[in-house]
Structure 1
C-alpha cells in the first residue's frame, strides 16, 4: 500500500502521512456516494442551495485553522489564504443565487410550440462526480467543481492529497447537509488508484484542474474506461482546466499605474506566480516600454520572500521547492544565452534554509526563447517591446495554450478589436488573473477541453440533459 506524504515547503517538516485507499476500499465509498445521489438529486434545487449556503458557515468558523494549514502544506502566505477563503465563499454564494434564480429550470422552447408539439430540455444531476483538485489555489479550485456538482444534484468524491486539510474541511462542510449524508467524501489515494477509479469506478463525470500532462492522463483513463462493458456508464465526460502561458498587452494609451498593479502585483506575483491564469508574458507598446520596465522592477524588488506565517512575507516558497526554482532558472538561462537581459532577479536567496527565486524580470526577449513559449509557474516575467496593436495580437496568439489573455487600454474601440481578434477561454480588459463566478471559466486548446465551470452554465455542465418531446393535442387537463 502506497503511503502519501507531504512536507512543509518552508520548514521541510512532515505535515501529512497517510496510506492510500485501495480500490476495494474506495468501491465501498463509491457505493455510499451513489446511494446518497439517489436521495439528494430528488431534493428541489432551492432546498439544495439553502443547505449549501448553511454549510458555508463551516468555512467561516475555520478561517484561522485552515489558512494556517494551507500555509504549512503548500506555502501560501497566511494572509493570502484568508483572502482566498473570503472570495471562495463569495464565489459559492453566487452559484447558490444562480441555482435559486432558475439556472437549472427546464429550457423553455415555447416559442417553437405548435398544435402537436411541446418541447423543453430538462436538467438533472448526473451521479457521482470525481473531482481532483490541485495545491496552488486549494479552496478556489475545489469550490469551482464541488459547488456546481452539489447544486446540480450530484454527489462528490474529492481527491485533494496535495493540500489534505482542505479536502477534510470540504468533507466536514459538505459531507452531511441536513438529513443527507455522504454528499461529499474526501479520499486519500495515489495516482494508480485514481486512474483505476476513473477506469473502473461507478462515476459519472471527472473534474480535473492541473497540468497539461495530468489532463492527458485523465483522458487516457477515460478512453480505457470506454472499453469496460461492466460499467453502467462506460462513456463519461471530463471537465479539464489545465496550464497556460497567459499574455498581457500594455497598449500605448494604457493607464500605466493600473497596468503595473494588475499585470505585475496581481497578475504575475500573486501566489508567488503559481497560478494557471497568471500573466506569464507581457507585450508593451514601445512608447511605454521603458517606463513600464522601471516600474515593474520597483514592484518586484519590493517583494519579500519568507515564512508564509510571517505577516511581512509577500511571497511564500515555491511548492516544488528547489526543483521548481531550477526549472524556472533554466528558462531564464535559456533566454539569457539567446540575448535576453535580466533586469532584476535571476538569482536565488536562502531564508532559514529554504531556497527562493528572487522575482525576475527579463527584457529583450523573442519567441525563439523557451520563456516565451512555455508555462512559467513562478515569479518570472518576460517583457517584449512591440510597435503596434497588430504585432501584439499576433504574438499573443502564437501559443498552443488558450486560457486567458488581457489588454490594458483607454480605448473602447481598441478593446473591442482585441476581444474580436483572439480566441481564449477568458479575455480581460484592464484586469487579469482573476476569476469571476458570474462568468464561465473555460480553457481551450492545451489549456482545457472547452468545458465550463462557474456561472449558470457551470451548473448545466454537470447536469444530464433530457429532451421532452410531447404531442399535447390529445392530452386533457392543464
Structure 2
C-alpha cells in the first residue's frame, strides 16, 4: 500500500490515483503517494476535531512524554530519514543529516517549552473582583509545508502545536512527501492517540480549500511563496481564521569595511549555497563596501570554487540538483539578465540539463552588479551570489531595505556600535550579525512586511498555537 493518507491512526490509499516522487538528481521514481483531495481532508479534520477535547485535556507533562518518544525515534532513525530526504529532495546527505537533527531539536525544545505555558493574575481595580489570564490551545491546526526542508518545516509547526494541546492535519508538498510519511509513521510508533496527528497528500487546491473553509480548523500555518500566502489570507478571511505565514525572502548580506573579510566570505558562502541556494533565508544579494570589495570577492570566489556539484549521495557533494525545471530556468534567467546588463560572472555561470529530467547549476559568483538587475529585485532560490559595490553604511542599508520582503538579513562588522546601528536599521525579522546560519529551535523565526505573519521557534512559536482568555471573577 502506498502511504500518504493517515487519518485517525489508520493508513489507507482509498484506491486513489498515485503521485510519483522522483529523485531530482537521477530522475528515478523513489516512491508514490495517494492523490487525496477534499473528501480525505474532511475526514482528517473530523478525526482531529474529535481528538481535540481529550488531547487538550492532557496535562503538559503527559503531552511532553509523547514528544520525547518522537524525538528519541527521530534520533534513532536519523540516517534513514536523511537518506530518504536526499532521495526525494536531492540535498547532500550531510545536509540532510543536519536537517534531521534540526527537525528533532524542535520536538525536544517544545516537549519542554510546553510545560511553561503560563497565565497570570492581574491586580483588580475593586476589592470584590479577582482577575486572571489563562492560555488555551487554539484547536485543530492545518499545516501546509514546502519541499525544500521536508522534515524541519513539519516539526517546526507540529511540535509546538501538539505541545500546546492542538491536534494536527498536515499537507506535505507533492515533490517531497515521503519524509513526511516517515515522520508520521514515527508519530504512530510513539503512540500518539487517534486523530492527534493526521496526514493527507495530494491535490494542493482541494486540500488547501478544505483546510481554509472548514470551520473545524481554527488555525492555518503555511510556509511557501508570498503569492500563495496572499491567496490563503483572502480565503481565510471568510472565517477570520488564525494564520501563521512564513513567506518569501530576498535576504541581503551587508559587508562593512571593518569586517573580518575571510570569515565574512566563508559565512556568506555557507549562507548562500546551503541547500543549493534553495532556502528562504539564504543570502540572495550581497552589498560590499568599496574599500574591501576586491578582497572580499577574492575570498568568496576561492571558497565557492571548493564546492562540488553532484548527486547528494556521492561523497564530497556540496551542491545538489535544482528541484525542477522551473527553478533551474529561473536561475539561468537571472544570471543571463545580469551579464547582459554589464555584470561579470567570475566563477560558475553554467547549468546542466540532462535527458532524464534532472537539472544542476554551478555555484556562481557575479560581480559589478547594479540595483536595477533582476537578480537584485527577485528571489533567485538558487546557487548564485550577486555582489554590488557600495560606499557608505547608509547606502548599504538603503539597498538592503529596498524590497517588499523582510525575512532574513546579514551584516558583517567587527565594530559593536557601527554593527548595532546597521542591525537596528534593517527591516527584517531575522538578522545574522557575523553569523550566516542563524536558525535555532529556541529562537523566533519569521519575517516583516510581505515575508509573513507570526513567528515559529522559541517562545513565540508556542504562543502562535495558544488563545488568551481573560477571566474576571466577581466576589460577594
Q: Is contact 2:151-2:180 (8 Å) kept?
A: no
Number of the residue aligned with 1:243 = 248
Note closer, same or farther for the CA distance 1:49–1:298 as it changes in structure 2 (3 Å cut).
Answer: same
Q: Secondary structure at the match of 1:204?
A: strand
Give the drift of 1:95.
2.3
3-state SS in 2 of match to 1:249: strand
1:403/1:426 contact within 8 Å kept: yes
TM-score when normalising by structure 1: 0.91
Counterpart Cα distance in 2 of 1:56 and 1:345: 40
1:133 is displaced (CA, Å) by 1.0
3-state DSSP of counterpart to 1:452: coil
Preserved contact between residue 285 and residue 385 of structure 1 (Cα < 8 Å): yes
- Give 2:12's aligned residue: none
Q: 1:359 to 1:373 in 2, by over 3 A?
A: same
Q: Which residue of 2 aligns with 1:229?
A: none
Return closer, same or farther for 1:300/1:279 CA change in 2, 3 Å cut-off. Answer: same
Residue 464 in structure 1 maps to residue 473 in structure 2: no
Q: How does 1:85-96 map to 2 (within 5 A)?
A: 85-96=100-111
How many Å separate the matches in 1 of 2:119 and 2:323?
44
| 1:405 CA drift (Å) | 1.1
Is 2:231 the counterpart of 1:217? yes
Unaligned stretches of 5+ residues in structure 1? 227-233
Tell me if structure 1 keeps the 8 A contact 2:103–2:153. no
Query: Equivalents in 2 of 1:243, 1:417: separation in Å?
Result: 25
Aligned 8 A contact 1:198 1:221 in 2: no
Task: Give the direction of change, closer, same or farther, for the CA distance of 1:81–1:128 in structure 2 (3 Å limit).
Answer: same
Summarize the Cα distance change of 1:355–1:31 in structure 2 as closer, same or farther, 3 Å threshold: closer
Counterparts of 1:431 and 1:108, CA distance in 2: 40
Mapped to 2, the partners of 1:88 and 1:196 lie a distance apart of 27
8 Å CA contact 1:148–1:459 kept in 2: the answer is yes
Describe how 1:298-447 pairs up with structure 2 within 5 A: 298-320=302-324, 322-349=325-352, 354-447=358-451
- What is the CA distance between 1:175 and its match in structure 2? 4.3
Say which SS state the counterpart of residue 406 (structure 2) adopts. Answer: coil
CA contact (8 A) 1:175 1:182 kept: no
Shift of 1:118: 2.7
Moved more, 353-362 or 385-394: 353-362
For structure 1, which segment, 19-28 or 142-151, has the greater mean C-alpha deviation from structure 2 after superposition? 19-28
CA shift, 1:2, in A, is 5.6
Q: Is the 8 A contact 1:4 1:190 kept in 2?
A: no
Structure 1 residue 270 and structure 2 residue 282: aligned? no
Shift of 1:177: 4.9
Q: Deviations over 1:164-213 (max 9, x none)?
A: 22211221233475572221111112122123313432211111001122
The question of whether the paired residues in 2 share the 8 Å contact of 1:79 and 1:311 is answered with no
Q: CA deviation at 1:153?
A: 0.3
Cα 1:345/1:197, change in 2 over 3 Å: same
Match of 1:180 among 185, 193, 215: 193
Matched residue count: 458
SS of alignment partner, residue 136 of structure 1: coil
Assess if the C-alpha contact under 8 Å between 1:45 and 1:99 holds in 2: yes
Are 1:154 and 2:166 matched, yes or no? yes
Partner of 1:99 in structure 2?
114
Distance between the aligned counterparts of 1:236 and 1:376, measured in 2?
A: 31
Gaps of 5+ in 2: 1-15
Equivalent residue for 2:83, pick from 64, 68, 77: 68
Superposed structure 1 runs of 4+ greater than 3 Å apart: 175-179, 349-355
1:259 aligns with 2:274: no
1:108–1:284 CA distance, 2 compared to 1 (3 A):
farther
2: CA distance, partners of 1:433 / 1:440: 14
Equivalences for residues 3-42 of structure 1 within 5 A: 3-42=18-57
Find out whether 1:56 has 2:74 as its counterpart. Answer: no
Alpha carbon RMSD of aligned pairs, Å? 1.9
Residue by residue, what CA displacement relative to the aligned partner does 1:320-374 show, whole Å, maximum 9, x if unpaired?
2x33222111111111121111111111246896431111111111211111010
Q: Deviations over 1:87-119 (max 9, x none)?
A: 22223322222222x2x1213434x66523432
Equivalent residues of 1:56, 1:173 under 8 A apart: no
Q: Secondary structure at the match of 1:92?
A: helix
TM-superposed CA distance for 1:253, in Å, is 1.0
Aligned-residue offset at 1:16: 2.9
| 2:202 is the counterpart of 1:189 | yes
Q: Cα distance 1:179–1:79, how it changes in 2: closer, same or farther (>3 A)? A: closer
